[in-house]
Amino acid sequence: MLGEHAFVLPIILVVYLPLSFFITYGIAVCEGHVQAGFPYISDTGTFPPESCVFGQLLNIGAVLFGVTVHVRYMQIDCFYRNTGRPKVLLVNRLSYGMAIVAAVGVSMVGNFQETNVIAIHLLGACLAFGVGGLYCFTQTGLSFKIKNLPGASACTRKVRVVLCIADIILLIALFVASKLAFDKMQPSTDRYKWTPGDEGYSEHLVSTVSEWVIAIVTVSFLLTFVREFSQIRVQPMCVSFQKKTQTAPEPVIILPGSSNVEGTDNAAYTNDDKTHM
């Protein structure tokens, strides 16, 4: 149960995801599957055994990301639910949907290696980077409409704007440079082990560095939630029976979870209460 420590979620994520990439990078380099330097992130999780580790770590990362954005969604929804601001609630829901799609994309990147199912892998990458970027943009725009949210500040909003600008510039650099690199690549070039002497190496380096920085920028954006998350308390999910039964009179079931973001104390639920999910 997170309780009053919801702010640790973005911190955990911003440490966990880069660490995951460096773990698989280290394995791939030691196994001789990629050249030391700046390979594509996906290249460090293409061949076994690192592909197995890559998939598992990204699946966990996708779940952590999903939990973090769910708390963010509930935070805004709880604060503005009865304030007569339907546009804020609508954008919040749309933003949440984008984040879940991006989380699925992260999982797809880890589970479908480029050497096995390239189409699904590229689709996952587009969802993770593209839709994930849209999530950052919508959250940035939304932050200018919810200035009275506890923990919000002008400094945080400015940082989000800078990160979004960096994200779009890096995305353009990634796609343009990668196309130029592969257009110049010679048939004899090993696409997983580029060397400075290969045609298109400079463009390849720009592309791969851009991808690594995009990943860092995206998780750093989530770090801007820390101050606002420090103002909330995440309570456990409560499940109860709607009708009385003879075998289980008035049970109370408390499940660890984070579906409700409020500042009130935990309440006991009996059989006569409605189910809270």
Q: List phi, psi (to 5°) of 253.
A: -115, 120
pLDDT value at position 255?
Answer: 46
The C-alpha torsion from 187 through 176 and 38 to 9, rounded to 10°, is: -140
Per-position DSSP letters for 167-181, written without gaps between them: HHHHHHHHHHHHHHH
Largest CA distance in the chain: 78
Q: How far is CA 108 from the centre of its chain?
A: 13
Amino acid letter, 138: T
- For the segment 61-72, the average pLDDT, to the nearest whole number, is 94
- pTM for the structure as a whole: 0.81
* Mean model confidence pLDDT for the chain: 85
Return the H-helix or E-strand segment holding 254. Answer: strand 253-262
Tens of pLDDT, residue by residue over 68-110, are 999 999 999 999 988 889 999 999 999 999 999 999 999 999 9
3-state secondary structure 224-240: CCHHHHCCCEEEEEEEC
pLDDT value at position 244?
Answer: 62
Tens of pLDDT, residue by residue over 219-232, are 999 999 999 999 98
Tens of pLDDT, residue by residue over 104-149, are 999 999 999 888 888 999 999 999 999 999 999 999 999 999 999 9
